[in-house]
Structure 1
Amino acid sequence: MNFRRVAASLVAMALPGIAHAHIGLHTDGALAGFSHPFSGLDHILAMIAVGFWALTLGGKAQWIVPLAFVTVMAVGGALGIYGLAFPMVETGIALTVALLGLLVAFEVKVSTSVAATVVGICALFHGQAHGAELPAMAHAGGYVAGFMAATVILHLTGFGLALLRFGNAQRVAARIAGVAIALAGAVPLAG
């Protein structure tokens, strides 16, 4: 199956959730989970950065790195749902955003296994935060599936942005965007 078919399928699956007329009244776990990653700039930036970085790594990393993020994020989500609290989770999330921004800004090249490990650690924090915020009446399984689907869409957005990097001007823009993401992660740490 090629990239375009996968992307089109994921977007098509997401459209009913986007069209839902009662955003905010989340008794449906999948809808609540799907909307959650879009509720915070930290999550959006981190997940787009993962997709962007994975595509710039090339090869198997293009699929393994985002898959590692989504898989470990689901584990972190389950831990959060079952009440396992991470110490300083918000600080951990801010650090992951800063780190991912720097990886994009400096086009850091590492092996696929190292990249998957790095994003896996980041995903654990993001997943735990998602899981800990499970709405009271939402179905946990649907909630996890929803935030996993939203994450895949944000990774695909990062892929798309990385594909736009042609020539020196776009490389500079990508570096500036990476630094901006890193700063967005660092600002909460300074406060």
Structure 2
Amino acid sequence: MHPLTGMDHMAAMLAVGLWSAMTARRVWLAPISFAGMLMVGALLGLGGLQLSGVEPMIAASLLVLGLLVATQAQLPSLLAAGVVGVFAVFHGIAHGTELAGGSNGWAPLVGMLVATLGLHLAGVAMGLALRSYPAWMRRVAGGLVAVVAVLPVL
């Protein structure tokens, strides 16, 4: 349930979809990259890999993704996929580490992947809808994602 109840995960997944829908010609490339690298990171975490900077990187991902949405920055498709893919590894490691030691990590991982793809889809739908609205509304959406990055600090 974390992808649907964890504010950081939900904001990041929606932001990837929003940004892709608003700026990319290949709308699905960044979301697929994020989902794939999320699983790579989750498997690394499940296997026992622990990194010291995971939580700050998750916060940084929200800040960067929020700013990418707010500015509607257009990056080359492969660079965009790479940026979200790097952040996804850290999100995945966090979740995999939480599941490590459990009897069956596969069911929660598959559920996390399905929920992540669903949130990406919702973000894409929101981004496509926001295309016809004034630019300030897209900036507000990005700003809200960036605010989630600093909420734990407040």
TM-score, scaled to structure 2: 0.92
Q: CA deviation at 1:53?
A: 0.8
Matched residue type, 2:107: G
* Matching of residue 181 in structure 1 with residue 145 in structure 2: yes
TM-score, scaled to structure 1: 0.75
Secondary structure at 1:83 match in 2: coil
Superposed, 1:48-127 pairs within 5 Å as: 48-60=14-26, 62-127=27-92
- d(CA) in 2 for partners of 1:166, 1:182: 20
- d(CA) in 1 for partners of 2:103, 2:124: 31
* Matching of residue 45 in structure 1 with residue 26 in structure 2: no
Matched residue type, 1:53: W
Secondary structure at 2:28 match in 1: helix
Q: Work out which of the two has the higher radius of gyration on C-alpha atoms and give 1 or 2.
A: 1
CA contact (8 A) 2:18 2:126 kept: yes
- Output one character per residue of 1:139-185: Cα deviation in whole Å (capped at 9) or x when no partner: 2222221111000000011011112124453x211111101211221
Secondary structure at 2:74 match in 1: coil
Secondary structure at 1:133 match in 2: helix
Query: Percent identity between the aligned chains?
Result: 37
Matched residue type, 2:38: M
- Output one character per residue of 1:6-30: Cα deviation in whole Å (capped at 9) or x when no partner: xxxxxxxxxxxxxxxxxxxxxxxxx
Q: Structure 1 pair 102/122, CA: closer, same or farther in 2 (3 Å)?
A: same
Aligned residue among 155, 168, 178 for 2:120: 155
- d(CA) in 1 for partners of 2:29, 2:45: 24
- d(CA) in 1 for partners of 2:109, 2:151: 28
The root-mean-square deviation of aligned C-alpha atoms, in Å, is 1.6
- Output one character per residue of 1:29-72: Cα deviation in whole Å (capped at 9) or x when no partner: xxxxxx12123100000000001111122322x11111110000
Matched residue type, 2:35: V
Q: CA deviation at 1:135?
A: 7.2
Aligned length: 154
Matched residue type, 2:82: T
